[in-house]
Structure 1
Amino acid sequence: MTRGLMIAAPRSGSGKTTLTLAILAALRRRGIAVRGAKTGPDYIDPAFHEALTGLPSLNLDSWAMPAPLLDSVMAQAHSGCGVVVTEASMGLFDGLLGPAGARGAPADIAARYALPVLLVLDISGQGQSAAATALGFARLDPDVRIAGVILNRVGSPRHAGMATQAITALGIPVLGAFGRDAGLQMPERHLGLVQAREHAGLDALADRLATQAERDLDLDAILACATVPDIPLPGGWVRALPPPGQRIAVANDAAFSFMYAHIVAGWRAAGAELLPFSPLADEGPAPGCDACWLPGGYPELHAGQLAQATHFRTELANFARTRPVHGECGGFMVLGESLTDKAGQTHRMTGLLGHATSFATRRMNLGYRAATLRHDCALGPAGTHLRGHEFHYATLTAPGTDTPLADMHDGYGTPRPPGGLRRGLVSGTFFHVLATGTAAIAP
């Protein structure tokens, strides 16, 4: 049976991703078939998990995913491997204020599946005081079990000893003390880490992480903490989102890479075939496809190259005359008339929708979203309820005259302005879909 555990922390920036990657790399070096998973909406960390393990990393979201889907994804994550290391997002108990068990908090996942939690504590600037944090996390929720602590950003053996003595005196095991190493700092940009596919030294980094994990962590004790999760058996495969066609052209390159693995797996399980193409290489969607999907990514970093991709624009326009095209976030930006980059230079985009976006005029949009489609599109028929999230800095500088696509609410049910646009068979939103919802969200 596949065992699992969760790597969590009191807050973002504690070093969860670095520790998760170090443990994944070290376990794989031992010959263990290990897989990563990630709570909450996130594309970038799962791509690093996959790069280090060779297995897709799935997202687990207690707010966006109905319970049968969540259980199905959890079951998928714990198949075909020996150990699953689930990386928590944000702080362990951070999420919406309600409802209980479905707040989008990592603790929801840990409690639902009885996953033991290894708490990463950044002890830079403190010593024995770290014990107070460990004790508070261990006692806050009786349904969430802190199986041990990993100290991070440790300055010296004496520094580690101060915190270790105080924490172990509480009966909480300390399973390692990860030393400070600026060379292990992951490169970042505005949406988080630089993508795994852009990290030229990833193999060397994985090797260094594995070596430090072997030196600084008690890997045997960490493995001993892992348990077989208590996963309710779903009644067969549960799809997050019906495929928009039998053969789906999917943009896939450095500008378009944000696809949730559970959605891709669901489409393939339904018999759909995904055919990748690269707009950056001036490729268009395969003419034999039934639908085209432009995922999110970083088109603002490649706007000049996309503006020169005339074959891509022509083929996409021809495709959209007879078959649906949908763009999410970055894909939505490319479907518009223009995109202004960080330097303030405006680049021509496909013009299949009439809006304009800018990365020079920045404003962060972040949070859960519930959508109800006003019109049929690649996401589903009119009236379909969807759950997902927004995370972008680009702004809409010209709305255009296309038809709004969906009615939107935030995670608490508070109405937001209509989201997305539609023209003919072309649709797009800043909204990333995680799952089809069972009902509209109420405030």
Structure 2
Amino acid sequence: MDFLIKALQLILSLSILVILHEFGHFFFARLFKTRVEKFYLFFNPGFSLFKFKKGDTEYGLGWLPLGGYVKISGMIDESMDKEQLKEEPKSWEFRSKPAWQRLLIMVGGVLVNFITALVIFWLILFKWGESYIPAENARYGLYFHPIAQEMGLQEGDRVLKVGTHDVETVPGITRLILLEDASEMTVERNGEQILLPIPSDINQRILAAGVRTLADFRIPIVVDTVIPGSGAFIGGLQKNDSIVGVDNVETPFFHQFTAELANHRDKETLISLYRDGNLYHLNMSVDESGKLGFGPKGPTKLLGARQLSYGFFEAMPAGINKGVNLLTGYVKQLKLVFSREGAKQIGGFGTIGSLFAPVWDWESFWYTTAFLSIILAFMNILPIPALDGGHVLFLIYEIVARRKPSDKFMEHAQMVGMVLLLGLLIWANGNDLYRWIFK
């Protein structure tokens, strides 16, 4: 069921973004009286699932869900329709329009995707606001991935700065280390501030290990709910009990507790806890997945979260800022791709689908859609033939050199670009398949 929900969200999200992207091209083409022959969601080699014609444009739904397209008269695109180019240019054709108009037609899709992301972020902040736990609220300190421990970080440390950048959120630690090329970090340990060097090869080590986050909050185990019929329920666990040990092993923090409990799967074990200031030792059965059957209080309740609310007009600049920051971060990540370990992290539809929540949550759906809209805009503006950015590159050359590249050159460039994109598609989805097979 989780897979189905994620798949449906992926299809809906990409359908919305592809239609809007192609509408961007369509809008500017029609604005400059350029004929659009086809407007399709998904590709339709051989046949279409659905189509109708209105005016000069055929609208349709293809069967191959790898994107969409608009076919503009007099333009060399993925359709590789060269018959038009053998005839004299018509006034309604793309090739007959001034370079500045053709430039706007080509950037229209990217422009609409970027604006779409900003609008979605604006409305998300207006509707739901935003909530996060500031890094400064880590009153119990942090615990760290083994790679972070190899850097010298210890349980209970608090990371204050990475280079010159203040750490505002704990997940932000990994992002700052990966993207900001810092050589050291400022850490608070036992009330004192110390500097720890950041190894020069840390990015590749993080990518090779597939690490999503190097640090997380240490929180005590405080019971919030107990599942009826579970080992915790039968053993007498109650709300607000504070668990401190498993089988006489001290586990004051949740990550320690879960790690130790996993060693007692399908067994009965001794659980030490405090209740109303008194220490108790109760026998409880651990299920085969290594759980007792209770819901703990999360970091939001135990550490406190910062909740930001916005009025309709207040949310607009905040949404724009969020979109620009995401785009900036994504551009910085590009340097990671051009390495052996970075290339292994490139993912296809499986990776994109994993971004969505396993339950249908509209706030999460729209946030992920806005994020994907940023990615779609950025990827399409890359100067690769067959992408919008490739066409833009040749148009800029035309404006500067005051002459067009030949039709034959454009045909060859389009073919090279399509081969590159096909190779990237195979590589990305191959990575997904490899990760799925080998976990």
TM-score, length-normalised on structure 2?
Answer: 0.24
Greater Cα radius of gyration, structure 1 or 2: 2
TM-score, length-normalised on structure 1?
Answer: 0.24
- Give the strand-richer structure, 1 or 2: 1
- Give the helix-richer structure, 1 or 2: 2
